[in-house]
Amino acid sequence: MTILSIQNLRTQFAMRAADVVAVDDVSIDVEAGECIGIVGESGCGKTTTGLSIMRLLPGNGKVSGGKILLDGKDLALLSEKDMQGVRGNTVALIPQDPMTSLNPVMRIGDQIAEGYLIHRGASKEEARQRALEVLRMVEMPNPEERLNQFPHELSGGLRQRVMIAMALVCEPKVLIADEPTTALDVTIQAQILDILDNLRVELNMAVILITHDMGVIASRTDRVIVMYAGKVVEGADTKTLFTKMHHPYTQALLSSVPKIEDVAGGRLSSIPGLPPDLSKTIVGCRFAPRCAYATDECRENEPPTEIAGEGHTYACFHPTNGFTPVEVQINEARKVVDAVEPLMKVTNLVKEFPIRGSNIFRGSVGKVSAVADVNFEVRKGETFGLVGESGCGKTTIGRLITGLEEVTSGKIEFTHTKTDGLKKGELRRALAQERQMMFQDPYASLDPRKRVGDIIREPLEIQKRLSKTQMNDRVTQLLSEVGLPLAAAERYPHEFSGGQRQRVGLARALALEPSLVIADEPVSALDVSIQAQILNLMQDLQESRGLSYILISHDLAVVRYIAHRIGVMYLGKLVEVGPADEVFSRPFHHYTQGLLNAVPVADVEIARTKRGDQMKGELPSAVNPPTGCRFRTRCPVAAAVCANEEPPMVELSPGHTAACHFPLGGTPVTIGSQDK
Amino acid sequence: MIGYLFRRLMQGIAVLFGVSFLTFLLPALEKGNVARAVLGNHASPLELKEFLHSHGLDQPFFVQYYHYMIGLFHGNLGTSLNPQTIDEPVSQVIAPYVPRTLWLVLISILFSTVISVVIGLFQGIRRNTIFDHSMTFLVFLLYSFPAFLFSTMTIILFSLTLHWFPPAVDSPTANGWFSPLVQMWNHPNQFVLPLATLTVLGVGGLTRFMRGSILDTMVQDYVRTAKAKGCSPNRVLFRHAFRNAVLPVITILGLSLPALFGGALITEQVFNYPGMGQLTVQATEARDVPVVMGLTLLVTVATVVGNLLADIGIAVADPRIRLTGKR
C-alpha cells in the first residue's frame, strides 16, 4: 500500500541573485513498512526533499509545484495549522546531528512527551508513561533516570536514541531519517540502524532514509532513489541498483566509494569537477559535464525518465549496465612499502588531561587517560593508519606528534632530527620541518582573511631560509602539485569548494617539505566523489615525494584503501598493529573484529549477510578506565584474567601484534562472518 | 553549583581589592595637589605641611594604603574634606544618597529589561517587516541620544510645554532604605521623566541584543526539532526558543550596571534628585577626594554584585551550568 506519494515535487529557494530550484520534478512512492533510501552528494536536494514533505523549509524556501500525497491527501493543500497536526504525528523527522537537535534547557522526558501531549491530548502523567515506553523501545539504558536528565548529560549515541524515541512517540506512518547516523561512530551507527530497522517492522512504518553513505544504503534499504543536482537520476530496488545500475552517475558514485573488502589497493575512480550551480539555467543532462559517456545529445537535451524494468527508472541517453570492468591500477605507492627504514618512533607515550573539580578551589579531582602507554613506529614512505571510535585517543596522538599538545610522559623521536640540546625556538623550527598536520575541517582550518598564497607561504616565512623569489617559486610549485590553478594564490579560501580547500590544506602542510604529514580525518567533511580525488592526490604526492602519512580516521574503508599498516586504538590503548591487509582480513583483537563487523559495506550481498551481530554498549569513560584489558567490558570472550591483568602487546604473526589474552588466532575471517 | 558561585564571589572580591588600590593610588600620588585644592592657592608651605601630616598624607605610600585598607575593613572610608561636611565620616555622608539611586537604577533596569525583551522578541520573529525596521530606527535613535540631551528635551517637551510632569523631584524628607520607594509611590508623576530617561538609556543596547539572540536561537536545530514535533508557532517560541534566547541577556544585564550608574550621574543632576550621582558631582566640585573614592568603591561593589546576581541567574536558568559547575 502506497502511504506517501511525492509527485513532480519542485522546491525552490529565493536567493539574492536568482531563484535556486533545489528539487526539480521529483517523484517518489513510498510503501508502508518499507525503507527507501535517498542518496546523493551534498547539495543534490535530498535533505530539501525531506524538509519539503514536512514543510519545514527555511524562510526563503517554498514548494512551488507538485503534490505530496499522504494517504491520498495532498499535504501541500493543508493549512499551516493542519500541517502542525501532521508533523510529529503521522510524519516524523529524525535530524542529522543529535548534539544540536535537542533543546539544552529542557528535560529529556518533557521533550519526548511533548509530541504526545500535543497530538493525543494526553494528560501529563500519560505522556510521561508514554515517554518511558518509547525510551524502552529504543533500548535506552536506565530509561527512568533519563526522563529527568538534560541532553548534555548523554553521549551522542544515546541522544540519537532520544531523537528516535521523540519521533516514534505518536507512532508515525512515515519516518524521515536525515543522515541519522552520520555524526556517530560505526559501532553506535550499527546499533542505531538496528533499532530503526526493528521498529520499522514492528510498527509497519515507512522509513525514508536520507544518506550519503552507500554502505548504509546497501545494508538497510529496500529501494533507492539516486539524486543529482535536484533531479532523480535513477531509482531501483537496492540489489538492482548496486549490480545493474543504468545511470553513469550511480556507477561513478559507487566506484568512488572505498571498499573495505577490496584486497589490493586499486586506485579509486573519482568523479571529475563539481555539481552544477543551480542558480543558473541548465541545458541538457545535469551530469553531462562530469560524465565519461556524455555526447552532444546529452549537452543539448534533457534525458527523459525511462523505465528499465519492475520499479527501475533512470534518466540517461546512454545507460550503462552494471559496472564496466575498470582496469585495476595496482597502486605503486603501496608496493614500495618494503622500505623498513624507521622515520619516527613513539615510545611509552602517555597523555593525561586533568579534570578540574566543581568544588570550591577547582583542584584536580582526577584525570582523563587519553593516551596510555602507546608504542609504534612509522617507516619512511609508508602510510600508518590510526583507527578507533571517537574518544579513543587517535586525534590526541596526532596532536602530540605535531606538538600541539605536550606529552605527559614518553618519547616521540625522529630518526633524522636530533633534538637534544636545542633551545625551544630552534626545536620548534626543526620539528616543523619533520612533521606537519593536515586538518579535518577545510572550512574552519584556513584563515578566512588570508589569501591562499599567503596561507601556503606562512610556514616558509617563519623559517626565514628562503628569499622572496624562492618562496614565490615554492608556492607556485606547491599549487601545481596539488592541482590548483596558479591564480588561486591571489584568492581567498571562501572562493573555493571543500575539496579545493583541502588541497590548500595539503599544500600548506607540504610547504616545508616535511617527511611526515599527520592527516586527521582529511576527507570526512567531503563528498565521496571529492574524497576520492583527495585520497588519490595524497597517494600521488606520497609516491613523488617519498612522504610518510599518519592517517587518522574513523572510516575504516578509507584507511584500508590508503594505509600500509594500521594501528587500532581503544580507549587510549593501541590494541592491534599490523599490515593493513592482515588486520582487516585476519584480525587478532576482538575489538578490531567488532569494528569491522559494524562497518556498513557498499555491497548488497555482503551487507545482508553480516547484520545482527554487533558490538554492544558504548565506549566506557576514560576517567576510570576498566582494569586489566580496557576492552573487557564489551568483549564477547572476556574472562577473569582480563580484569586482573593487562594483556601485553605480542607479535602473533610477522609484523602483526595485538594485546589480547585470547586472540582470535589469526584464522582467516571473511568480512561479515561472525565466527568468534 | 555552590562551588561555581563561590569561585565567582572570590573573583569579585579580588576585583574589589584591585579597584580599591587604583582609587587609592590617584590621590596618594597627587597628595600635594589635594592639599592645595582643599586649602586654596594662598596657603603657606607650613599650612600645607600640617594638612598633609594631620591627614596622614606625609607617610610612606604603603603605610597609607595599609591604614586605608584597615579602615575599609572596619567600614571606615575616611572623613570628608568638603567644608560643608568637614570631618564627617565618608560613610555617613554617602549613606542617605545610596537608596535613592539604588531604587532608581533597579526600577529602570526592570523596565528596560521587560521593554527590550518584548520588543527584541517581536523584532526577531517578525524580522525584516515594517515593525522590525521602524523599531530598529527608533531604538538606534534613542541609543544615540546622550542622557543630558534626552533628559533636557523631555523636560522641555513634557513639563515646560505640555505641563504633564514636573521638571524636578522634590527634596526627599526621609533617609530610610525604603523611603525613596514611598516617595515614588506618593508622587509618581515626579519620577516619570527621570525613570524614563534611565530606562531609555538601557533599552537601546538590550533590544538589539535580544533581537540578535532570538534570531540566533530560531535557526538552531532544536527549534526545527520542536517544529517537526508539531508544536504551534507560539509553543515553539515560548517553550523552546525563549528561554535559550534570554540566557545571554542575563549576562548583559549584569554588565550594564556601571553604565546605568554613569547615566544616573547626569539624570540626577538634570532632575535635581539628590542621589549618588548628584553627590559625586558635588564632591568632585569640592575636591572632596575621600567621598569620591568612597562612591567609586560603592559603584564597584554594585557592579560586582550585579555580575554575581547575573551568574546566579544563569546558573538557575541553564542546566548545563547548574549541574556541572562549568560550561
Interface ipTM above 0.90: no
pLDDT for residue B327 is more than 80: no
A141 class by beta-carbon count within 10 Å (0-12 exposed, 13-18 middle, 19+ buried): exposed
Helices (H) and strands (E) in chain A — how many of each? Answer: 23, 23
A336/A133: higher pLDDT: A133
pLDDT for residue A378 is more than 70: yes
Measure the CA–CA gap between B219 and A522, rounded to whole angstroms: 29
> What value does the mean pLDDT take over residues A348-364?
74
Q: Do B235 and A118 touch (CB under 8 A)?
A: yes
pLDDT for residue A262 is more than 70: no
Q: Is A152 on the interface with B (CB under 8 A)?
A: yes
Q: Is A93 on the interface with B (CB under 8 A)?
A: yes
pLDDT for residue A333 is more than 80: no
Q: Do A87 and B224 touch (CB under 8 A)?
A: no
Nearest by CB to A105, from B221, B224, B319: name it: B319
pLDDT for residue A317 is more than 70: yes
pLDDT for residue B163 is more than 60: yes
- Per DSSP (E only), the strands in chain B are none
Chain B neighbors of A109, CB-CB under 8 A: none
pLDDT for residue A430 is more than 50: yes
Q: Do A362 and B222 touch (CB under 8 A)?
A: no
The predicted structure's pLDDT at residue A670: 44
pLDDT for residue A425 is more than 60: yes
Nearest by CB to A105, from B7, B243, B324: name it: B243
Chain B neighbors of A52, CB-CB under 8 A: none
Measure the CA–CA gap between A120 and A487, rounded to whole angstroms: 61
Q: How many CB atoms lie within 10 A of CB B146?
A: 11
Per-residue HEC secondary structure of A94-143 comes to: ECCCCCCCCCCCCCHHHHHHHHHHHHHCCCHHHHHHHHHHHHHHCCCCCH
> What value does the mean pLDDT take over residues A635-652?
90
Q: Is A102 on the interface with B (CB under 8 A)?
A: yes
The predicted structure's pLDDT at residue A330: 44
Least confident interval from A491-500, B5-14, B188-197: B5-14
Chain B neighbors of A60, CB-CB under 8 A: none
Q: Do A360 and B231 touch (CB under 8 A)?
A: no
Residue A387's pLDDT band, with cuts at 50, 70 and 90, is very high
Measure the CA–CA gap between B309 and B324, rounded to whole angstroms: 19
pLDDT, tens digit, 9 for 90 and up, residues B35-90: 777 777 777 888 878 877 877 777 788 888 888 888 888 878 778 877 787 778 88
Q: Is A119 on the interface with B (CB under 8 A)?
A: yes
Chain A residue with minimal CA distance to B317?
A: A105
Nearest by CB to A103, from B4, B226, B317: name it: B226
Chain A neighbors of B247, CB-CB under 8 A: 105
The predicted structure's pLDDT at residue A610: 61
pLDDT for residue A391 is more than 60: yes
Chain B neighbors of A106, CB-CB under 8 A: 239-240
| DSSP per-residue letters across B102-142 | HHHHHHHHHHHHHHHHHHHHHHHHTTTSHHHHHHHHHHHHH
Chain A neighbors of B6, CB-CB under 8 A: 360
HSE-up of residue B73 (Cα within 13 Å, Cβ side) = 6
Measure the CA–CA gap between B257 and B304, rounded to whole angstroms: 9
Chain B residue with minimal CA distance to A113?
A: B229
Q: Do A101 and B222 touch (CB under 8 A)?
A: yes
Q: Is A117 on the interface with B (CB under 8 A)?
A: no
Chain B neighbors of A88, CB-CB under 8 A: 228-231
Chain A neighbors of B227, CB-CB under 8 A: 56, 87
Residue with cell 637534544: A420
Nearest by CB to B222, from A85, A100, A150: name it: A100
Average pLDDT of chain A to the nearest whole number = 87
The predicted structure's pLDDT at residue B35: 72
Chain B neighbors of A105, CB-CB under 8 A: 243-244, 247, 317-319
CATH architecture under which domain B98-274 falls: Orthogonal Bundle (1.10)
In angstroms, how far apart are the furthest CA atoms of chain B? Answer: 85
**Range among A9-23, B226-240, B294-308 rated most confident:** B226-240
Least confident interval from A146-155, A611-620, B305-314: A611-620
Chain A neighbors of B221, CB-CB under 8 A: 95, 97, 100-101
Q: Tell which of A99, A101, A174 to mutate to test the B interface (max B CBs under 10 Å).
A: A101
pLDDT, tens digit, 9 for 90 and up, residues A217-242: 988 899 999 999 999 999 999 999 98
Nearest by CB to B230, from A85, A359, A360: name it: A85
Nearest by CB to B232, from A54, A84, A89: name it: A84
Nearest by CB to A115, from B6, B230, B243: name it: B230
> What value does the mean pLDDT take over residues A450-462?
92
Residue with cell 545482508: A608
Nearest by CB to B318, from A88, A105, A360: name it: A105
pLDDT for residue A310 is more than 60: yes
Chain B neighbors of A358, CB-CB under 8 A: 1, 3-4, 324-326
Residue A123's pLDDT band, with cuts at 50, 70 and 90, is very high
Measure the CA–CA gap between B90 and A168, rounded to whole angstroms: 68
> What value does the mean pLDDT take over residues A566-592?
92
CB pairs below 8 Å between A and B: how many? 92
pLDDT for residue A574 is more than 90: yes
Residue A246's pLDDT band, with cuts at 50, 70 and 90, is very high
Q: Which residues pair with A577 in a beta bridge?
A: A567, A657
> What value does the mean pLDDT take over residues A502-510?
93
pLDDT for residue B250 is more than 50: yes
Distances (CA, A) of B26 to A61, B31, B87: 61, 9, 21
The predicted structure's pLDDT at residue B228: 93
Measure the CA–CA gap between A475 and A144, rounded to whole angstroms: 60
Which region holds residue A230: left if phi is over 0, alpha if psi is between -120 and 50, else beta?
A: left
pLDDT for residue B326 is more than 50: no
Q: Is A100 on the interface with B (CB under 8 A)?
A: yes
Cell of A41: 552528494
> What value does the mean pLDDT take over residues A511-537?
89
pTM for this predicted structure: 0.83
pLDDT for residue A355 is more than 80: no
Beta carbons of A111 and A159 less than 8 angstroms apart: no
How far off is chain B from A152, nearest CA to CA, in Å?
7
pLDDT for residue A326 is more than 70: no
How far off is chain B from A76, nearest CA to CA, in Å?
16
